[in-house]
Structure 1
Amino acid sequence: MPHQSSLLKQQEAKSTAVAHAKVIAPGVPARLGSTPSTTFRGNPAIFGRLVEDHDKHRALLAMIEATSPKDPARKLLFEEFVRDVHGHAAAEEQALWSTIMRNPETTQFARHAVGDHHKIDKLMADAAARDITSPGWLRHFAKLKEEYLDHILEEETEQFVEAEKTLSPPDQRYMRRVFSRRKKAEKAAAEIEKKIALKPT
């Protein structure tokens, strides 16, 4: 049955993404629970590759939350999350959104996604600037987690859906190759910025 085959492919893609997160701290549980339903999970082109990263990030967020303040795994997991998200966002903008932005029908989706990336950058810098071993650190982290999960849900259920309509299958496969190459370079160059976010007046 093709439907069963598709579900199996999706489960395998999610398991692989979680395994990539677990490499950082094998002893920390990755309790994701259910993830939002998307037809892109396991897709061989650009959108499947992006969802693969999203699932890894969901796992990292769950693992960070499962650590205690003094657990050295918390810092390792958080730094991996920040670097991976930086690399992911920069490569996504280069491989996907720069093209989508040129189409008047999809410009708003691309701009919204890129705007979210900047907001998340500020929240990551705020969390990085605070004492990760303090009992209250998870409160600041919770805001970052909420914003990031909202962002990737919106991408998977709205923005990718609209973007896909304007791209041919060969374009999507080409974008995956561009994304993978740029992600590696951008992640390697990523620095962890530390800057407390000013409260809105």
Structure 2
Amino acid sequence: MKNIFDVLKDSHEKQRLLMDAILQTSGDTQARREFYASLKDELTKHAAAEERHFYAPLIQSDQSIDMTRHGIAEHHVIDKVIAQLDSTDMSSPGWLTLMKTLQHKVEHHLEEEEKSFFQTAGKVLDSEQKETLARKYEREVA
């Protein structure tokens, strides 16, 4: 049975692959539009489900409240960059600059989660919670 860390890492890997694929494209092409739509969908579903099924139980613990608040704040920063991308012409150099900004923000967030948040959460959540949260997360993003 997968735990919450496994399912979050799966999503993180998908996000990384999509961002890399987008940055291999140029101009307002069908491929760029499709990769970006997939990335935006993945980021949106991931953030909502992660906040409900990972951050929500962690915010209740003194040990993990600060990291949880930080993670949620980073989701909002990422949302703002996505909004900027959505209002910028995909074929403009500015769009690519914003995409690189998004990649930087997302990769920073994922790295923090994987290298420190997960370790703290592993101490706060028990094995049953980790598996239950994984099932809830997977149902929501499906």
Identify whether the pair has TM-score above 0.5, normalized to the shorter chain.
Answer: yes
Q: Do 2:22 and 2:32's aligned partners in 1 also have CA atoms closer than 8 Å?
A: yes
How many residues get paired? 142
Pairing partner for 1:93 from 39, 51, 56: 51
Q: Which has the larger radius of gyration?
A: 1
When structure 1 is superposed on structure 2, of 68-77 and 44-53 the one drifting more is 68-77
> Is the Cα–Cα contact under 8 Å of residues 88 and 94 in structure 2 kept in the other structure?
no
Determine the C-alpha separation between the residues in 1 that align with 2:60 and 2:113. 18
Task: Mark the CA change 1:106 to 1:135 in structure 2 (over 3 Å): closer, same or farther.
Answer: closer
Cα distance in structure 2, aligned partners of 1:96 and 1:147: 20
Query: Which is richer in helix?
Result: 2
- Counterpart of 2:118 in structure 1 is 160
In structure 1, the partner of 2:132 is: 174
Q: 1: distance between equivalents of 2:83 and 2:60? A: 30
Q: Matches of 2:93 and 2:75 in 1, distance apart?
A: 27
Please report the TM-score for the alignment, with normalisation by the length of structure 1.
0.68
Tell me the CA shift for residue 109 of structure 1: 1.0
Name the counterpart of 2:33: 75
- Taking the aligned partners of 2:84 and 2:105, their CA distance within structure 1 comes to 13
Identity over aligned pairs, percent: 30
Root-mean-square deviation (CA), in Å? Answer: 1.2
The code of the aligned residue for 1:48 comes to D
- Higher RCO, 1 vs 2 (CA within 8 Å, ≥6 residues apart): 2
1:73-152 counterparts in 2 under 5 A?
A: 73-152=31-110
1:137 Cα shift?
1.8
Per-residue CA deviation, residues 71-114 of structure 1 (Å, 9 max, x unaligned), is 21101111110111110010011111100001111100111111
Whole-angstrom CA distance in 2 between matches of 1:140 and 1:46: 30
Q: Per the alignment, in what secondary structure is the counterpart of residue 176 of structure 1? A: helix
Q: Could you tell me which runs of 5 or more consecutive residues in structure 1 were left unpaired when the two chains were aligned.
A: 1-42, 185-201
